[in-house]
Chain A
Amino acid sequence: MKAVAIVVAALAFGLLPYLTSSNYILGVAVSAAIYTVAAAALNLIYGYTGLLSFAQLGFWGIGGYATALTVVTFGGTFWLGLLWAGLLNAALALIVGYPTLRVGRHAFVIVTLTFALLVTLVARDWVDLTRGPLGIPGLPAPSLFGFEFKTTSHFYWIAWIYALLALGFLYALGTSRIGRTLVAIKQNEPLVRAQGIAPMPYKLAAFAISAAITGIAGGIFAFHLKVIDPLFLDFYYMQTFLIMVIIGGAGSFWGVVIAGIALSALPEVLRFSSDFRMIIYGVVLLVIMLVMPGGFAGWIRQRRLARMRAALR
């Protein structure tokens, strides 16, 4: 019953271009789909595995640049670009993740942060490759078998199908034994080791999958914006993904998906100056982490646990 409802809801999102012809609404919908996927990918590494990765911003940017450069500089297709975005990011995640995770989860946070910063600097300063601060404007519309995804409603199909695939995959992963093992690693790593499970491959896999999914999302988003420049690596994106995960509830698949969709629409409804919006984001982050560190899903869970305790005593 629940499964049917979810499938119906997921397909209903696909009907959006028939309900509205407003490019503005469809544009917000593209952002919602892509941001939600990126937040769900962050949820895999942070929410499930307990490793706070700021590298997501770097993966997002590398994905955008890899896809754009594949098309513009190397003459490949958009789809080939997305493939590169995924593969390159997965490989980078392994290279950065292995030495870092050996050191520990504190180092992981700091190294991923520095990685994100490095990507920003490379985007700005490696002018020969990235064209520097000017970026690459006029990214062409993707095409498939002669069909060009020119309008926003066409582009929405790409974002929607990718969101379905990526979220479906993350859901399957999260509810499998692999997902359960990631949660176990987060909760009690020594116990995991005592039960014959080596944590490192799981952590690396979660990081690489999360990187690849974020990279492809970045690639699609760059072509939605039709331009890529160092602003694509603005810390704003990282904060957006983080806030979605934290409000939804780290470790809760549905919490993060719902928060992702809701919060993508919200800044559009509340049209503030960018400084003011960032201040609100900061306040939300701070307050949620202070009073409700588990997010909404965590809060619901606490209440359920309290009931369970009361029933058993």
Chain B
Amino acid sequence: MTALLEIRDLRKSFAGVHAVDGVSFTVEQGSITGLIGPNGSGKSTTIDCIAGFQKADGGRVVLAGTDIAGRSAHQIARAGLMRTFQTVRVYENLPLRDNLAIAAQQFDDATWSDELFRTRRYRRAAAAAETRARELIELVGLARYYDADAGILSYGQKKLLALAAALMPRPRIVVLDEPVAGVNPTRIRDVEDVLRKLNAGGETFLIVEHNVEFITNLCHHVIVLDQGRKLAEGTAAAIHTDPRVLEAYLGMTPEMAEAEMRGAA
């Protein structure tokens, strides 16, 4: 496996508070990597900096060999890193069809004059996007809403739509910001299945999530942040028993955790 995304010594502070304080990690090509941590641990700031939504104070973000740190959000997206948002973002008043088409339009060769005069190149690009959109909407199970406005979807369905939109341009990596936060628990398994299927098809994911069970089920590799620093890193199983993680994340010692587990069993 090779490193697709490499974060080196990322730093960001607000008014003297170090929200991200020298974080480094890598995401392997074809992996599902999880980024977890308690509230205020700097997860969201980290991915905002990676995706160009906030400007990092320092550090390197290398995507497939190119340093993208300091570029603006749209340039980073064009470089092949697509993200979703914690509070789900879709175009509420546009049909799913358009929601998906817009996500891909920056990545084909049709220029503005092609668009205005509906040239062959424009129609070819639009047809390719349509095929891809149908395929993805089928995969996330929203095919029956294809022509309906995104505004009528439930919160969980919108998260799936946002996932499909992020996949539209066949990015190198998709960064998911809390993909199951606020999603009906019975639906979480569906999201897991979709992500696993996509990963089997070769997609790489970096997932920020609160839901530890979700991360444990899905991720090959997990990074734990606490107070802007990397606390631990390893396989999901290793993280689960790391005493530092338990204390920071759950506020308990290994003994307490063990006691709790026994209690639950």
Contacts and interface: CB of A to CB of B under 8 A. Distances in A.
* Direct contact between the two chains A and B in their complex (CB within 8 A): yes
Given A183-B94, A187-B94, A312-B145, A193 B73 contact: yes
B51 A194 contact: yes
A196 B115 CA distance: 17
Q: How large is the interface on B (under 10, 10 to 19, 20 to 34, 35 or more residues)?
A: 35 or more
Interface stretch (A59-67, A112-120, A174-182, A232-240): A174-182
B105 A197 contact: yes
A101 to B, nearest CB: 15
A133 interface: no
B159 to A, nearest CB: 13
B249 interface: no
A273 interface: no
A193 B72 CA distance: 9
A183 B89 contact: no
B21 to A, nearest CB: 25
Among B84, B93, B106, find the residue whose CB has the most chain A CB atoms closer than 10 A: B93
Interface string A101-142: 000000000000000000000000000000000000000000
A191 B85 contact: yes
B6 interface: no
A162 to B, nearest CB: 19
Interface in A175-229: 176-178, 180-181, 183-184, 187-188, 190-198
A173 interface: yes
Contacts of B148: 308, 312
Given A177-B115, A308-B149, A308-B152, A183 B91 contact: yes
B103 interface: yes
Contacts of B92: 187-188
Given A183-B93, A191-B90, A196 B106 contact: yes
Instruction: Specify the main secondary structure of chain A where it touches its partner.
Output: helix
Among A172, A192, A305, find the residue whose CB has the most chain B CB atoms closer than 10 A: A192
A187 B93 CA distance: 8
B18 interface: no
Contact of A184 (B94, B110, B149): B94
Contacts of B118: 176
Contacts of A177: 101-102, 105, 110, 115, 122, 126
B53 interface: yes
A30 B67 CA distance: 58
A255 to B, nearest CB: 14
Contact of A191 (B91, B112, B122, B169): B91
A191 B90 CA distance: 7
A309 interface: yes
Nearest to A201: B112
Interface string A145-181: 0000000000000000000000000001100111011
A178 B115 contact: yes
A173 B106 contact: no
B151 interface: yes
B165 A188 contact: no
B91 A184 contact: yes
Nearest to A205: B112
Interface of A: 172-173, 176-178, 180-181, 183-184, 187-188, 190-198, 305, 308-309, 312
28 contacts: A176-B115, A177-B102, A177-B105, A177-B110, A177-B126, A178-B112, A178-B116, A181-B102, A183-B91, A183-B94, A187-B91, A187-B92, A187-B94, A188-B91, A188-B92, A190-B89, A191-B85, A191-B90, A193-B53, A194-B82, A194-B85, A195-B77, A195-B82, A195-B106, A195-B169, A196-B169, A312-B145, A312-B148
